[in-house]
A and B are shown apart, each in its own frame.
Chain A
Amino acid sequence: MSETRGTLLPFYLVVDVSYSMSGSKIDAANDMIVRVQDELAKNPILADKVRFSVIDFSDDARVLLPLCDLLERGVTVPRLTVRAGTSFAAALRVLRTEIETNVKQLKGDSFKVHRPVVFFLSDGMPTDPDADWQAAFRDLTHYDPATGSGFRTRPNVVPCGVDDADPRVMQQLIFPATGEKQMRMYLMDRGEDAANAIGSIAQVLISSILSSGVSIAAGGSGIMLPAAAELPGGVHEYTADDQDFV
């Protein structure tokens, strides 16, 4: 038997939980998850389609909330807590494994899946060598349709940086960086309060979930980022080519 049980839209929130995130920043990051849950509760069309996962990372990365329906009975919203280190490589590797496993599982369960979307939030520089996280990012996003090598379910990646996140490092995590469906990154404006900026990033994430719903209703194939004019205060958006940062 082969039929579809539904078409789902997976979102992954990957959060830096290094010590520098402690205090109001980690509180704001925790609040993001609750706000997403609240918004889904208000939109029955999206509530049936969106699947949400939370991965945190420091020296290692952990799946705090496995991909799930946030409104399903019994789902408990996880609490992010801080620990040492900022390994982008660990986060990207766990992310790849999760996406691969989740999509395989969903397909095995007869669901169709839109391309996954990753919001990657960090407040600092990676503590692992550039070559390590760059290789992990390549493993996550490289796919060659001609040979079939690489990762077929490579996600769209939207990096979000606050405080000491280096724009030029975060920029390298935008995927796709070019083309018709290119993604963007969101950075805190200089001098802004980081917790407020994370609040604004939550708003971007929610707008993107909501407009992706409208886009799917309009025959599109998934992720939509909010228009620059509709961005909340405290953050600006950048493409992979931008050289100047506010």
Chain B
Amino acid sequence: MEAEPRIVSTDLPQERSEVASWTGCFEPFAVGDPGRAPDRVISKLNTRFWYRPELALDAVMVGQEGESPFAALRAASIRGLSHRHYGEVRQDEYAFRVTPDNRYLVVCVADGVSAGKWSHLAALWGSRGGVDDLCRILRDTEPEDIDWPRFVGEVAAQVEQAGRDHLLRHGVLPEDVGTTRQVAGQLATTVLYAVVCLSGSAAGQAHVYGIGDTSVWVLADGHWHPRQPIKNDGAEVYSSSVTALPLLPRELPPVIRTRVAPGQVLVLMTDGVGDPLGDGTGSVAEFLADRWCLPPSGLEFAAQVDFRRSTFDDDRTVVALWPL
């Protein structure tokens, strides 16, 4: 049977008299020359690790005591332009947790070393496993008494063991994962841990410990204060070589102790943001200081972390804490 022809009105809609039912707009952030890549890169799927999202994001209050939380936390981890272009996974990671007694916030920011094709797993284990272990340690240890070298040694051993098991399950030959260095060639990660006191007279005190070039800063009065030496400062040619777990540097770094007060921001970041930030005095520093004088919404924060700037195409991860 022939269908009844449908009558479709071709009349133009009447003049709109109502106010538009939506507002808002989005424009990517850019600092200086954005380069060609942001507009031209075609983001490719990674078919092997299809389950891994390009973006991880959190925007929460931490240290809730009745009606007065201690701080606003923003965290974003974003796959870099280069990994989007080449179809590689995001290898950066973050994790955070408040101890059950509500006394401490424990954070980790990790940067899986790109040379290893399984490094995102090292970043995942190093961050989640490490944060979990720190929470356990903090049950009966004050943060100033944490034995950090021992702690990272244990995390390194866990990453190595989990990595070796994983590689063996995926067809890598036992003779190719015999040494720590061999495992590290397939999966390795920088780690930066922070334990922040959320209550009492120590509130705002942060104990920070890291392996590799992931960095910690305090943003105060619009100025960036690095809490470790600046990477590649004074180098003639650029080098991206970095120490990363499961390998440990011959000389372990000192613990960084700092304090963050209301009006200031404690910021942990991978080199995807740390490199363009440089020594914290240029236009990227100005941009982020301006945008982060107050905690932005989660999605805005992610867009700011993803700012465009020519040649800076690495994964980017930032965890920032605004004590209230």
A112–B282 contact, CB under 8 A? no
Which of chain A's residues have a CB closer than 8 A to the CB of B279?
2-3
With contacts A217-B82, A219-B113 known, is A45 near B284, CB below 8 A? Answer: no
Return the contact of A3 from the options B113, B236, B242, B284 (Cβ within 8 A): B284
The answer, yes or no, to whether B237 is at the interface (CB within 8 Å) is yes
Distance, CA A214 to CA B85, complexed state (A): 10
CB contacts (< 8 Å) of A112 on chain B: these are 232, 238
Q: Taking beta carbons and an 8 Å cutoff, which residues of A are in contact with B?
A: 1-8, 43-45, 47-49, 71, 103, 110, 112-115, 152-153, 214, 216-221
Prevailing SS type, chain B contact patch: loop
| Contact bitstring B204-245, A, C-beta under 8 A = 1, else 0 | 000000000000000000000000000010001111111000
A44 touches B37 (CB 8 A): yes
- Say whether, besides A45-B37, A113-B238, A7 and B83 are in contact (CB < 8 Å): no
Cβ-defined contact, B238 with A47, below 8 A: no
> How many interface residues does B have (CB within 8 Å)?
40
CB-based nearest B residue for A6: B311
Given contacts A44-B37, A153-B237, contact A3 B86 (CB under 8 A): no
Report Cα–Cα, A181/B283, bound state, in Å.
Answer: 35
* CA of A44 to CA of B35, assembled, Å: 9
Given A112-B232, A218-B114, A220-B115, A1–B237 Cβ distance below 8 Å? no
- Contact yes or no, A3 B276, CB < 8 A: yes
Do residues B114 and A1 form an inter-chain contact, with CB atoms below 8 A? no
Name A217's contact: one of B36, B83, B275, B309 (CB within 8 Å): B83
The CA-CA distance from A3 to B88 in the complex, in Å, is: 28
User: CA–CA, A214 to B312, complex, Å?
Assistant: 14
A169 and B115 CA atoms in complex are apart in Å by 35
In the assembled complex, the CB of B278 is this many whole angstroms from the nearest CB of chain A, namely 3
Please give the distance in Å from B280's CB to the nearest CB on chain A: 8
How many angstroms between the C-alpha atoms of A110 and B115 in the bound complex? 27
A216, B242: Cα distance in complex, Å: 13
Least CB distance from B314 to A in Å reads: 8
